[in-house]
Amino acid sequence: MTSQHYPLLDSIPTPDELRQLPPEQLTTLADELRSFLIQSVSHTGGHLSAGLGTVELTIALHYVFNTPDDRLVWDVGHQSYPHKILTGRRELMPSLRQRGGLAGFPKREESPYDTFGVGHSSTSISAALGMALAAKAQGLKRKVAAVIGDGAMTAGMAFEALNHAGDLDANLLVILNDNEMSISPNVGGMANYLARVLSGKFYSSVRESSKKVLGKMPTVWELARRAEEHMKGMVVPGTLFEELGFNYIGPIDGHDLPTLISTLRNMRDFEGPQFLHVVTKKGKGFTPAEENPCTYHGVGKFDPDNGELLASAGAITYTQVFGDWLCDMASTDKRFVAITPAMREGSGMVKFSQKYPEQYFDVGIAEQHAVTLAAGMACDGMRPVVAIYSTFLQRAYDQLIHDVAIQNLPVLFAIDRAGLVGPDGPTHAGSFDLSFLNCIPNMVVMAPADENECWQMLYTGLQHNGPCAVRYPRGTGPGVAVEKTMIALPLGKAELRRTSGSKDKRVALLAYGSMLGAASAAAEQLDATVVNMRFVKPLDETMVLKLAQEHELLVTIEENAIIGGAGSLVATLLNSLDAPPHLIQMGLPDHFIEHGDRIALLTSCGLDSSGIIQRIKHHLENSAENMAGHGSAA
């Protein structure tokens, strides 16, 4: 991968060896680790900015805590690459996010140091609290620390966990990796000095002794408690966490290894819930990432010397189609608003947020709030669009049903990353949205087969006076030009794309969204009828019943879980017939699909043209053999 040498990094294959290093060598180790991380991700792509900011913190945590016996829980996985490198996986980094290689996020099956599998944000405090309570119940002296990013602190789940933890006496350390704030004078020498004092044994013992003495004098103790709280509040933003029941320390410079280590050592031995506020810089040590942390948050391959991206500009993506559509709609209707749960860049909303800031709402990592906010807006005459990844919509399922669908409110869900997402793996795959959407009354669900159809469906959904979802895959489509017509599609009407030339018309392929291309290619070899279903719900029953009359085999093909997917609605309809045709439902199998190249993963699931052909031929051959067998028996 690289000819560079890393003497210290090479000498510590696991944290056991790291803990043997003298403290004065740790800064050099941090430099080597940061350099290796840049070189490694430049070859594979991946999440870079946040990891560059956690290099010193990762070293300090493994240096102070006896991992993996002590539990270290990372929130999301973006900041955990240095952790992977230090925990026996450095040689495997060239396989990062590739099929059969290292996952892009912590994964329990991958290493004992990955104590909790993650992908979505704001789970670390809940999981770590569970581990701390488990240790307490088993009489273990194990230490448990959760590292949560500041973005993840915008989610309600994090505060639910903080609220619960503060009411318990479990030994839990929560570390806020605050990587959005530049390191200001407040986080310089004075703040570091205060952190050492506030976390030191002398202060702790005096504080506890004072409680015992002043506890007998309620008014005096209350005065002392308030004085301490207000004094700390003058220099640190910790009042909120203190009120939740945590002992708050910080903020401290997350790139100052001596301060990190001494503070962590002090806090490691404290009893009860502890909160450490650490300030780091995204992209630390790599100028392009420091200057543009969003670009290098999740980046493709790049030149490690200058940060120049190596990926060539390709065809327009579905995400870009959505972004352009947003701007077009906002210019025509002031009631039009768009909401995102902290995914402005990922959902293609940058231009929209800049051109129409009054119609743009980023709610932070708060998917539940995003959906109910949209419902409230729709109640009073607005036309909200919720831009959300399929996997993140799962978090707001209750709100989708109770707050939107039951009230039949006109909220449009633009669902990005539907289907497999490739390198990001099962935590980010949109494998289930058709299954959990098509069972909800009042929902209209559409799946575009190309870029132009995506634009048309978004417009159709905006005109519909009820809840509607348009789900589209990650990346580019087949390259169809977008015609920006203001004409809604007929609701629930499929499109016949190919008619079989055979008189018996044995096979009809019912393709949903991204599967139309593979289905059309397979149909040419099979001489099969092809229908672009367009609408998952409402189902075009007239089309399906006509196909059932004219064909002996219907095949539904979707990039969604087979169980409960679009094909299940077709199956329900066919089961109502006296003599239904044979039906094959093709989709994602009943197991989680690991990370890798998206096209290769689809092929492994039989969702390419060859897989479709093979499945159909196998069925027809078996049917012919069965018929012959019955004839012989007769």
User: Is 91 assigned a catalytic role?
Assistant: no
- The per-residue b/e assignment along 10-45, b for 16 or more CB within 10 angstroms, e otherwise, is eebeebeebeebeeeebeebbebbbbbbbbbbbbbb
Q: What value, to the nearest 5°, has the Cα angle with vertex 141 and ends 203 and 111? A: 115
- The per-residue b/e assignment along 274-297, b for 16 or more CB within 10 angstroms, e otherwise, is bbbbbbbbbbbbbebbbeebebbb
The sheet carrying 71-74 orders its strands as 71-74, 144-149, 172-178, 274-279, 247-253
DSSP string spanning 218-267? Answer: HHHHHHHHHHHHHHHHHHSS-HHHHHTT-EEEEEEETT-HHHHHHHHHHH
Of 242, 367, 453, 558, which is the active-site residue? 367
Of 71, 281, 395, 505, which is the active-site residue? 395
> Does residue 460 contact residue 589 with C-beta atoms inside 8 Å?
no
User: Is 524 assigned a catalytic role?
Assistant: no
User: Going by DSSP bridges, is the β-strand pair 46-47/298-299 parallel, antiparallel, or unpaired?
Assistant: antiparallel
DSSP state of 515: G
CB-based contacts of 463, cutoff 8 Å, min separation 6: 488
The type of residue at 47 is H
- Report the alpha-carbon distance of residue 468 to residue 419 in Å, rounded: 18
User: Residue 562 has which token pair?
Assistant: 């087979």
Of 90, 281, 282, 417, which is the active-site residue? 282
Helices (H), 512-608: 516-526, 541-550, 566-574, 598-604
Q: Peptide bond preceding 538: is omega within 30 degrees of 0, i.e. cis?
A: yes
User: Is 282 assigned a catalytic role?
Assistant: yes
The residue assigned the tokens 């300030």 is 279
Q: How far apart are the first and last CA of the chain?
A: 67
Give how far Cα 436 sits from Cα of 161, 391, 395, 604, Å: 27, 11, 12, 24
The residues annotated as belonging to the active site are 282, 367, 395
